[in-house]
């Protein structure tokens, strides 16, 4: 019966001041670059592998803090017996009891477990930082609260043999692996279990082939004779020189090993000439081979089991979406526990929301949250697919701005750039159109659970406001949007086009559309065409009166919503009157965003109003 | 040498409970070791637990297994130790389940326990009552000792103060004594069994875990089990565990005074576990005459024809103790000079032992041996470490304080030693500064030099600590002081060397070192030379070519108190005799003095011990 690493808790390790997470069989780490995902993976590997490769740089310090020697980094891991699907069980199998022994196993009413605390601390006697490992007897509510055995113990033989942790970084490349004896490829291919007889036979054949090659190629033969004369000059009496086209001994075979790949009808090409995508993928597959190889050996001992933890960064590197999906399939079938950090929406779309752990960094500290399954909300996967299929980037954003229409989705980035002097993506802000009415909920659920700052920019129409209120009530329990300063709603029942016009941008709008259509009299044509006709709401268009042009513009904009959103926004931001480059309500939104993501207002050019 | 058929049978017994009745010289240790080897090779996984009576026996077994090429790495799968040592491990790792703290200290020293008991009885609050008790007593020291014995007895019977049936005020004294220990996060020797028992009995899943880890348990010297130990074993086994092997000999049960009883092995174990019973009664050690005589003690009627050597066993009466001692001396001298037909190699002093019922019987022998330049020694069995100098007493106290900051008793002792008021030391933030404060301004201040080398939870390098001591010895010591101090330091060094020998570097913490000393694991293995002077208890497990048993008169051996009470006490005396006799391989000389000098000066005529009536007299 297998085991699973079900809980981990980290304190003061690198960028992680404090983090406590539950782990499952498959775990996806998502988050922007540099949020501490690699540190998390390193911590896990350190705790499982029993390595002693640490230094004082591994201890977390805040910006102004000087490292005190009393400060320690702690990594707690918690193993439980499990079934093949990763569900925890009460008792370890006999095999694991034998390997962990009573030194490491603790019994409890919630089932047996093995808790391991790894500490990096300063040893005053050795005058350097070192690692110590202790048994956790009670997990407790925090690092300080746990009950730890005072006696330091080392991993048992069994633990060192049967607990394995593998790390694949983003730069994996089979071409590098080929040259490295210590890579998984190197280790699998230098593991010969041949009989003496077979070895002799093969080596004899190699020798024959070598001799034949040299014999058949005159220039080779000559070169060999020529360089043999070195023996005389250096005075060595019994020396001889050979040229070896092929390795002579079995143990040297992996030195010249090459992998060649054939694409359809093309010839075989060495792997170095293939793209990085293929190369990094193959590197991963050699790890699979390595693990399988080990598993084979275990089969001789039929009670034996292995615990394997695969920690992998960016499996999607250099691969196109379909290939990413296929690779992910292979990863999912990898026998063992997996923690994979990824930036790929394709990969995320293949898993379940409950597999995801969101990483973010604020003030130099790493934060990690797992999606909490809501008992009331059974449609987790549905939400997930809705959002991910729409806009997966939401999971990687530092802030999310939700709006209901494509118009706003196109226009807001323009204003954003004017306000912040850089594009939204530069600050990690995603401006997302929810795709229609009543669609806020799934987006809000996600940002709430992953603690991503969010904003809403909504029309002032009654229906739109009702949507907003219903969504924020259901997800956040707030019954009125006015109570939140991250929800900006247009007033007076206006929608975006109405609002722009009432803010006094009519002239600019007309200018923008005229330029775009290359038709300065577009409005007049429109009036002529549609005057007197019915609108959708059955009212009659009457453009003849004093405000006729105004009304006509309103109707025109409504009919062509998305087409002119961008040009109009651009025109507005290029306004000669600096104070009016951003509509007020939009400015309100952008200020709220600035506060929300902590961008200093000083950096933003303050327009005089 | 190949195992006999019977021995082989036992070795190959796999699952199921087993009782092996093994007489003296039957190769019991060998059989145990071989069985463990067999179990290790038969199963690929799983551990074996071997519980011995003494640390020496554990060491013996461990070194036999370690040095056996067939065992190799599998040695990791065997846990060998005394029951106390195994229980202490359980307390250290699972003590929290019954509210104990992990750094609980062991107060093994008898004097420490007495001092605590005395302070309990003299406590102000109960002075009116308890204080009177002590004052009333003619011999307070003896009263305290008796009280401590009673407390031990209660604990060995697994009776806690609230269930104690003894007349008042004993249960209250018992309770307060326990409280005082608990408040200082300390325990005494008997608590080790009691606490371990409670941990297993109150947490069945822990017992189950231990069952799963240890596939087989072997218990040696099972005739010496007491109530607490047997109950512990029962708690360990629960209702389902059967792979228990008990080895013992009821005729060698000599620890009744300690609460041991062979009924646990012979009756209760049989009733509770239904073991397969094997008997190993072949004596490969002793010669025919010795075996014949020892059979008269047990009532066995073995066929002795197969024994190779005839040997010799005689009894002689001498005029007085001096004559007896002189006879012993001349016999030794003759045998060394001339040898004996039944002994292959020439004899040396180490091949001789003189056994007596108690140490007072040896006084004449000591004198005679000294006069005749015959080297001799008394075998010691102790645990703990005794320091001659105050400096090293302070040294030990420093460790005690570092290990257990709540240890008030030893803190007070240290304060008294350095003549400081304990309250002055109260406001120190941590133990090291407390110690520094206590030691400075005293003749012990130089000992602060060891503090940088001590880390509580970390591994200690004791050699560095010793080095710090030696480098900082005060210059104003007298020669005598210096001599004793260096002897003391060397004593510690020896304990450390022995500790290092069987504990891996990463496990050498302060607590494990000090506890190993307390449990007697670091005692010197005897490399003493000369004739051994032993009591029957000290002779257990040993063997000598020639054994003299002196003072075999009624009233001495058997002891007069046993004669008076009869019953079990007398059986114990008989067993003592059996153990003594079966130490002899070839020659055994039994003797007694006709006249014995009493402590108050007069002579008393002695009758021969009932145990030697059946022995042939010498010509």
pLDDT digit string, tens, across residues A49-102: 877 788 888 888 887 888 888 889 999 999 999 998 889 999 999 999 999 988
- DSSP string over B234-250: HHHHTTT---EEEEE-G
**8 Å CB contact of A95 and B45:** yes
Mean pLDDT in residue range A392-414:
87
Q: Which of A133, A169, A141 is nearest to A49 (CA)?
A: A133
| For residue A472, pLDDT beyond 80 | yes
Q: Which of B393, B418, B380 is nearest to B492 (CA)?
A: B393
pLDDT of residue B129: 65
pLDDT of residue B234: 95
Check the CA dihedral A444-A446-A449-A451 and report its sign. negative
Percent residues over pLDDT 90 in chain A: 23
Mean pLDDT in residue range A513-523:
86
CA distance B91 to chain A (A): 11
pLDDT digits 0-9 by tens, B234-246: 999 988 999 999 9
Question: Which residue bears the tokens 């051994």?
Answer: B532
**8 Å CB contact of B47 and A101:** yes
A161-193 CB burial, b ≥16 within 10 A, e <16: ebbbbbbbeeebbbbebbeeeebbbbbbbbeee
pLDDT digits 0-9 by tens, A114-156: 999 999 988 877 788 888 889 999 999 999 998 888 777 788 8
Mean pLDDT in residue range A570-580:
86
What are the structure tokens assigned to A265, written together?
A: 């009808």
Model-level ipTM above the cut of 0.90: no
| CA dist., res. A50 & res. A118, Å (int) | 9
Mean pLDDT in residue range B582-592:
94
- DSSP string over A94-127: HHHHHHHHHHHEE--TT--EEEEEEEEEEETTTT
* SS3 (DSSP) at A39: helix
pLDDT digits 0-9 by tens, A560-569: 778 888 999 9
* SS3 (DSSP) at A192: coil
**8 Å CB contact of B208 and A105:** no
| For residue B507, pLDDT beyond 90 | no
Residue of chain B with shortest Cα separation from A300: B44
| CA dist., res. B420 & res. B437, Å (int) | 10
| For residue B476, pLDDT beyond 80 | yes
Residue of chain A with shortest Cα separation from B95: A149
| For residue B339, pLDDT beyond 50 | yes
Q: Which of A86, A40, A171 is nearest to A355 (CA)?
A: A86
**8 Å CB contact of B208 and A137:** no
pLDDT digits 0-9 by tens, A23-37: 999 999 998 888 899
**8 Å CB contact of A98 and B46:** yes
| CA dist., res. B26 & res. B152, Å (int) | 34
CB of B246 within 8 A of CB of B269? yes
Which pLDDT band, with edges at 50, 70 and 90, does A603 fall under?
very low
What are the structure tokens assigned to B519, written together?
A: 């449990």
User: Which residues have C-beta within 8 Å of that of residue A86, sequence separation ≥ 6?
Assistant: A4, A24, A25, A26, A337
More confident residue, B124 or A14: A14
CB of B491 within 8 A of CB of B441? no
**8 Å CB contact of A112 and B459:** no
| For residue B371, pLDDT beyond 80 | yes
| For residue B221, pLDDT beyond 90 | yes
Mean pLDDT in residue range A256-262:
79
Q: Among partner residues B44, B453, B509, which is closest to A125 by beta-carbon distance? A: B453
Phi-psi region of B142 (alpha: psi -120 to 50; beta: other; left: phi over 0): alpha
| For residue A602, pLDDT beyond 50 | no
Q: Chain A contact for B511, CB < 8 A?
A: yes
| CA dist., res. B35 & res. B48, Å (int) | 10
Which pLDDT band, with edges at 50, 70 and 90, does A607 fall under?
very low
Q: Chain B contact for A157, CB < 8 A?
A: yes
Mean pLDDT in residue range B294-305:
80
Residue of chain B with shortest Cα separation from A304: B45
CA distance B45 to chain A (A): 6
Residue of chain A with shortest Cα separation from B215: A98
pLDDT of residue A373: 62
Which pLDDT band, with edges at 50, 70 and 90, does A554 fall under?
confident
Mean pLDDT in residue range B384-412:
86
| For residue A480, pLDDT beyond 90 | no
Which pLDDT band, with edges at 50, 70 and 90, does A608 fall under?
very low
**8 Å CB contact of B203 and A107:** yes
pLDDT digits 0-9 by tens, B56-111: 889 889 999 999 998 888 888 999 999 999 999 999 889 999 999 878 889 988 88
Question: Which residue bears the tokens 């050597």?
Answer: B309
Q: Are strands A487-489 and B214-219 parallel, antiparallel or unpaired?
A: unpaired
pLDDT of residue A530: 80
Distances (CA, A) of B566 to A157, B249, B387, B558, B579: 56, 21, 41, 10, 19
| For residue A374, pLDDT beyond 80 | no
pLDDT digits 0-9 by tens, A260-319: 887 777 778 788 888 888 888 888 888 888 888 887 877 777 778 889 999 999 988 888
| For residue A379, pLDDT beyond 70 | no
Q: How many residues belong to chain B? A: 619
Q: Chain B contact for A575, CB < 8 A?
A: no
pLDDT of residue B128: 63
pLDDT of residue A141: 92
**8 Å CB contact of A112 and B452:** no
Show residues of chain A in contact with B91, CB under 8 Å. Answer: none
Residue B602 CA from chain centroid, whole number: 36
pLDDT of residue A483: 83
pLDDT of residue A382: 67
pLDDT of residue B270: 95
| For residue B571, pLDDT beyond 70 | yes
Q: Among partner residues A97, A132, A138, which is closest to B213 by beta-carbon distance? A: A97
pLDDT of residue B543: 92
What are the structure tokens assigned to A505, written together?
A: 């941008």
Show residues of chain B in contact with A153, CB under 8 Å. Answer: 506-507
Q: Chain B contact for A127, CB < 8 A?
A: no
Residue of chain A with shortest Cα separation from B77: A98
CA distance A162 to chain B (A): 14
Q: Which of B408, B413, B518, B389 is nearest to B91 (CA)?
A: B518
């Amino acid at each position: 019966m297998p085991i699973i690493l079900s809980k981990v808790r980290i304190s003061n390790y690198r960028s992680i001041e404090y983090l406590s997470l539950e782990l499952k069989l498959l775990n996806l780490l998502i988050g922007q670059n540099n949020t501490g995902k690699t540190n998390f993976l390193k911590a896990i590997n350190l705790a499982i592998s029993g390595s002693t490769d640490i230094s004082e740089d591994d201890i977390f310090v805040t910006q102004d803090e000087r490292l005190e020697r009393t400060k320690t980094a702690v990594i707690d891991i918690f193993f439980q017996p499990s079934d093949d699907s990763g569900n925890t069980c009460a008792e370890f199998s006999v095999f694991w009891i034998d390997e962990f022994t009573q030194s490491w196993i603790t019994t409890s009413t919630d089932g047996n477990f093995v808790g391991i605390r790894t500490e990096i601390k300063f040893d005053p006697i050795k005058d350097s930082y070192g690692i110590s490992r202790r048994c956790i007897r009670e997990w407790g509510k925090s690092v300080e609260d746990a009950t730890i055995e005072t006696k330091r113990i080392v991993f048992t033989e069994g633990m060192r043999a049967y607990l394995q942790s593998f790390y694949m970084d983003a730069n994996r490349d089979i071409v590098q692996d080929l040259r490295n004896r210590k890579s998984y490829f190197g280790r699998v291919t230098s593991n010969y279990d041949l009989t003496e007889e077979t070895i002799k036979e093969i080596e004899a054949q190699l020798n024959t082939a070598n001799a034949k090659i040299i014999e058949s190629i005159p220039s080779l033969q000559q070169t060999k004779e020529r360089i043999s004369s070195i023996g005389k000059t250096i005075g060595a009496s019994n020396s001889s020189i050979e040229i070896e086209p092929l390795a002579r001994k079995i143990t040297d075979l992996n030195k010249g090993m090459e992998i060649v790949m054939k694409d359809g009808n093309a010839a075989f090409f060495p792997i170095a000439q293939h793209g990085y995508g293929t190369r990094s993928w193959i590197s991963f597959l050699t790890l699979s081979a390595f693990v399988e190889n080990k598993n084979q050996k275990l089969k001789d001992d039929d009670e034996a089991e292995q615990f394997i933890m695969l920690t992998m960064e960016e499996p999607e590197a250099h691969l196109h979406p379909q290939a990413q999906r296929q690779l992910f399939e292979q990863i999912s079938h990898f026998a063992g526990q997996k923690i994979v950090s990824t930036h790929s929406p394709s990969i995320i779309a293949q898993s379940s929301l409950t597999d995801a752990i969101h990483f973010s960094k604020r003030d130099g500290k790493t934060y990690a949250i797992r999606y909490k399954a809501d008992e009331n909300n059974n449609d987790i996967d549905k939400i997930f697919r809705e959002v991910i299929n729409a806009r997966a980037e939401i999971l990687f954003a530092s802030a999310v701005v939700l709006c209901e229409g494509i118009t706003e989705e196109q226009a807001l980035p323009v204003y954003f750039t004017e306000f912040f002097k850089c594009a939204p993506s530069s600050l990690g802000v995603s401006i997302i159109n929810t795709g229609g009415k009543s669609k806020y909920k799934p987006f809000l659920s996600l940002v709430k659970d992953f603690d991503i700052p969010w904003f809403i920019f909504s029309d002032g129409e009654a229906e739109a406001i009702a949507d907003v209120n219903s969504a924020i009530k259901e997800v956040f329990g707030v019954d009125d949007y006015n109570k939140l300063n991250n929800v900006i709603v247009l007033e007076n029942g206006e929608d975006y086009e109405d609002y722009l016009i009432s803010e006094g941008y009519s002239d600019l709008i007309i200018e923008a559309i005229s330029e775009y259509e290359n038709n300065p009299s577009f409005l007049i044509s429109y009036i002529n065409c549609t005057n007197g006709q019915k609108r959708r709401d059955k009212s009659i268009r009457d453009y003849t009166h004093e405000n006729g042009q105004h009304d006509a513009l309103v109707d025109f904009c409504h009919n062509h919503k998305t087409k002119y959103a961008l040009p109009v926004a651009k025109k507005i931001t290029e306004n000669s009157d600096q104070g009016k480059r951003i509509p007020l309500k939009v400015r309100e939104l952008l200020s709220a965003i600035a506060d929300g993501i902590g961008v200093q207002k000083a950096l933003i050019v303050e327009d005089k109003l | 040498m190949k195992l006999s058929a019977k021995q082989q049978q036992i070795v190959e017994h796999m699952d199921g409970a087993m009782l092996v009745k093994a007489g003296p010289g039957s190769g019991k240790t060998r059989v145990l070791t071989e069985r463990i080897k067999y179990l290790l090779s038969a199963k690929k996984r799983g551990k074996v637990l071997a519980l011995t009576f003494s640390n020496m026996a554990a060491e013996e077994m461990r070194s036999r297994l370690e040095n056996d090429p067939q065992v190799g790495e599998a040695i990791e799968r065997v846990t060998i130790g005394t029951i106390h040592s195994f229980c202490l491990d359980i307390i250290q790792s699972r003590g929290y389940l019954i509210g104990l703290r992990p750094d609980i200290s062991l107060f093994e020293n008898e004097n420490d326990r007495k001092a605590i008991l005395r302070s309990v009885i003299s406590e102000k609050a109960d002075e009116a009552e308890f204080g009177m008790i002590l004052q009333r007593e003619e011999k307070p020291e003896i009263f305290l000792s008796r009280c401590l014995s009673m407390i031990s007895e209660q604990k060995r019977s697994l009776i806690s103060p609230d269930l104690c049936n003894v007349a008042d005020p004993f249960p209250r004294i018992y309770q307060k004594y326990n409280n005082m220990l608990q408040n200082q996060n300390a325990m005494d020797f008997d608590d080790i069994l009691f606490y371990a028992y409670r941990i297993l009995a109150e947490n069945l899943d822990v017992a189950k875990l231990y069952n799963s880890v240890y596939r087989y348990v072997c218990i040696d010297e099972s005739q010496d089990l007491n109530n607490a130990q047997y109950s512990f074993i029962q708690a360990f086994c629960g209702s389902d565990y059967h792979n228990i092997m008990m080895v013992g000999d009821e005729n060698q049960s000599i620890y009744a005074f300690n609460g041991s009883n062979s009924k646990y092995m012979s009756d209760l174990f049989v009733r509770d576990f239904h073991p397969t019973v094997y008997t190993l009664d072949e004596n490969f050690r002793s010669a025919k005459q010795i075996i014949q005589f020892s059979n008269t003690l047990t009532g066995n009627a073995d066929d002795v024809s197969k024994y190779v050597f005839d040997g010799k066993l005689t009894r002689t009466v001498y005029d007085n103790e001096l004559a007896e001692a002189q006879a012993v001396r001349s016999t030794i001298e003759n045998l060394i000079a001339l040898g004996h037909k039944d002994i292959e190699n020439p004899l040396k002093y180490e091949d001789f032992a003189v056994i007596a019922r108690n140490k007072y019987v040896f006084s004449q022998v000591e004198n005679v041996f000294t006069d005749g330049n015959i080297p001799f020694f008394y075998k010691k069995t102790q645990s703990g470490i005794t320091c001659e100098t105050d400096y090293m007493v302070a040294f030990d106290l420093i460790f005690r304080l570092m290990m257990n900051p709540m240890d008030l008793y030893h803190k007070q002792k240290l304060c008294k030693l350095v003549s400081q008021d304990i309250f002055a030391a109260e406001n120190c933030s941590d133990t090291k500064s407390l110690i520094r404060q206590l030691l400075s301004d005293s003749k012990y201040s130089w000992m602060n030099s060891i503090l940088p080398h001590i880390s509580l939870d970390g591994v200690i390098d004791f050699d560095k600590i010793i080095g710090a001591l030696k480098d900082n010895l005060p210059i104003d010591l007298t020669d005598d002081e210096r001599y004793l101090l260096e002897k003391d330091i060397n004593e510690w060094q020896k304990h450390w060397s022995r500790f290092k020998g069987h504990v891996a570097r990463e496990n050498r913490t302060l607590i494990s070192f000090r506890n190993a000393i307390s449990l007697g694991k670091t005692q010197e293995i005897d490399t003493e030379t000369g004739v051994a002077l032993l009591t029957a208890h000290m002779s257990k497990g040993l063997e000598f070519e020639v054994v003299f048993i002196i003072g075999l008169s009624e009233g001495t051996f058997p002891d007069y108190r046993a004669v008076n009470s009869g019953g079990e006490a007398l059986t114990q005396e008989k067993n003592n005799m059996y153990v003594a006799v079966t130490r002899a391989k070839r020659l055994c000389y039994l003797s007694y003095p006709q006249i014995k000098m009493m402590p108050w000066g007069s002579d008393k005529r002695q009758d021969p011990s009932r145990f030697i009536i059946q022995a042939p007299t010498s010509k």
